[in-house]
Structure 1
């Protein structure tokens, strides 16, 4: 099996796609300039955003038919891998915005990059754009390109980074729209989440595995942890962790009525490693300790 092709610099990626390097840390790459090539797994040491058409062959992510089909945006953070190895050749298509983390050092965007969670979304959780949204994205790319082609001066870095930040903020808005307009695609997620938790606490998993984690729930629901978290937050106003904790408390309230069980036994049954952690969470959520709740009710 062929090894992963790793791109450590923007220049390497530019050369791979037959694009000129105008700046060592950032570029708008036109993939159609690249020569036909075989499918390979690719790893990037920088931020990479692909503007693709639906079912574009070089990523082979098998998207289903959605209501927004003009194009998609796929976000990769440094160190992520995409693609698969194959002997089949294809003609690369689309546009990629690539920028190295070093470009962001000392900027406000650099400090806030972790807030753009879509860099950790799975490929099948791509952002699907309407035609109008696609035009806005292309306008952002155009502004970045203008600065790259302009002679570098004291304003260049600030303007490039500002336009990248503008682009990312638009993407945040468009993802919020996607969460709302794709209710059918995500329909039943909350119900499936609730069923998953009910099944979990009805099994021996809490004693054997411990409390259910957000990562575990996301994996069981075939979603990345960040995408799952954002969907649940939009639907309930709570993070998945808060939702799980509230579920734990609901189950605990029922168990507390069983006088034969001590608070410690209930804590272990729920998956807590230490009973005092259960008592602390219960008091935080309910306002009284488990023992006090048992007496009051």
Structure 2
């Protein structure tokens, strides 16, 4: 396995791919102008957005491998490791945008970057574009490139950051479209998510581990936690954490029907170390305390 190359600046990245540095904090890469490659692994201290317009080997990202298709976008946040592997040297076709976090510090985009949760998606959750969508994304890249070709002035940062924000907002729209067009797949994923949570509460895992985390459920489904959360929010209007809490309430109600089982025992079996925490969460979700619910039923 190849060593990981760590790249912390835009200049370092440009040097690696043979690109001229026009701005110290942001760069647009044309893969047609880079050297062919077979295999590499990198960890970036940058944000990176890749638009691949042809097959160019498999991309590895985290623990997964993904066959690139035409018109595929992948988003990488600082600190993440990614790579490309191909049996023979390949010439890429497409573009990439890389920018340092310092570029957006103090801007509205910098404050809102966490809202673009697809930066934490796994590679198998990549964005697939139609021809029309691809043209829009390429136009955003072209606008940023135009500004980079222009001499840096008082307006450069504002315009470049605005175009990056526009690009990300289009990607958010296109991901919404992708969730809709994959509705049958999403329904299956939601059903499997519910089974993961139901099985968790049906076992004794909660006693040792507490409430299941979103990360735990996502790992069981082989997807990223952010992707699971975004999918649930779009399909149901509720967050993954809200779904887990509701499943916990259902399990609690079933346990409270068991004669002789105390509220403290129910709380313990659901992973609560302190019964009052369970009581607070139960009342928040049902409007009743556990004792009030039990007496009503």
Q: What range describes the TM-score normalised by the shorter chain of this pair?
A: over 0.9
Specify the alignment match of 2:103 in structure 1. 103
Specify the alignment match of 1:155 in structure 2. 155
Specify the alignment match of 1:175 in structure 2. 175
Q: Distance in 1 between matches of 2:130 and 2:90?
A: 26
Specify the alignment match of 2:241 in structure 1. 241
Specify the alignment match of 1:145 in structure 2. 145
CA deviations on 1:21-42 (whole Å, 9 max, x unpaired) are 1101001111222222330111
- Aligned residue runs from structure 1 range 111-126, under 5 A: 111-126=111-126
Kept in 2: contact 1:54–1:63 (CA 8 A): no
Q: Distance in 2 between matches of 1:70 and 1:39?
A: 20
Aligned length: 293
CA deviations on 1:96-146 (whole Å, 9 max, x unpaired) are 101111111221111111111010000111111000000000000111011
1:83 is displaced (CA, Å) by: 1.4
Kept in 2: contact 1:39–1:90 (CA 8 A): no
Q: Distance in 2 between matches of 1:165 and 1:121?
A: 18
Specify the alignment match of 1:62 in structure 2. 66
The TM-score, its normalising length taken from structure 1, stands at: 0.93
1:208 is displaced (CA, Å) by: 2.6
Q: Distance in 1 between matches of 2:18 and 2:113?
A: 29
Q: Distance in 2 between matches of 1:253 and 1:36?
A: 61
When you count strand as a share of all residues, which structure comes out higher?
2
RMSD after superposition: 1.7
CA deviations on 1:180-233 (whole Å, 9 max, x unpaired) are 011233341111111112211211211232211111000001110000100011
Q: Distance in 1 between matches of 2:87 and 2:132?
A: 37
1:87 is displaced (CA, Å) by: 7.7
1:58 is displaced (CA, Å) by: 5.3
Relative to structure 1, the CA distance from residue 92 to residue 232 in structure 2 (aligned partners, 3 Å threshold; closer, same or farther) is: same
1:270 is displaced (CA, Å) by: 1.2
Q: Distance in 2 between matches of 1:125 and 1:237?
A: 20
Relative to structure 1, the CA distance from residue 165 to residue 84 in structure 2 (aligned partners, 3 Å threshold; closer, same or farther) is: closer
1:267 partnered with 2:263:
no
Kept in 2: contact 1:47–1:101 (CA 8 A): yes
The unaligned stretches of length 5 or more in structure 1 are: none
Relative to structure 1, the CA distance from residue 296 to residue 187 in structure 2 (aligned partners, 3 Å threshold; closer, same or farther) is: closer
Specify the alignment match of 1:278 in structure 2. 278
The TM-score, its normalising length taken from structure 2, stands at: 0.93
Kept in 2: contact 1:55–1:62 (CA 8 A): no
Deviates more, 1:88-97 or 1:44-53: 88-97
Give secondary structure in 2 for the equivalent of 1:75. Answer: strand
Deviates more, 1:51-60 or 1:37-46: 51-60
Specify the alignment match of 1:293 in structure 2. 293
The unaligned stretches of length 5 or more in structure 2 are: none
CA deviations on 1:144-198 (whole Å, 9 max, x unpaired) are 0111011211111100000000000001101011000112333411111111122
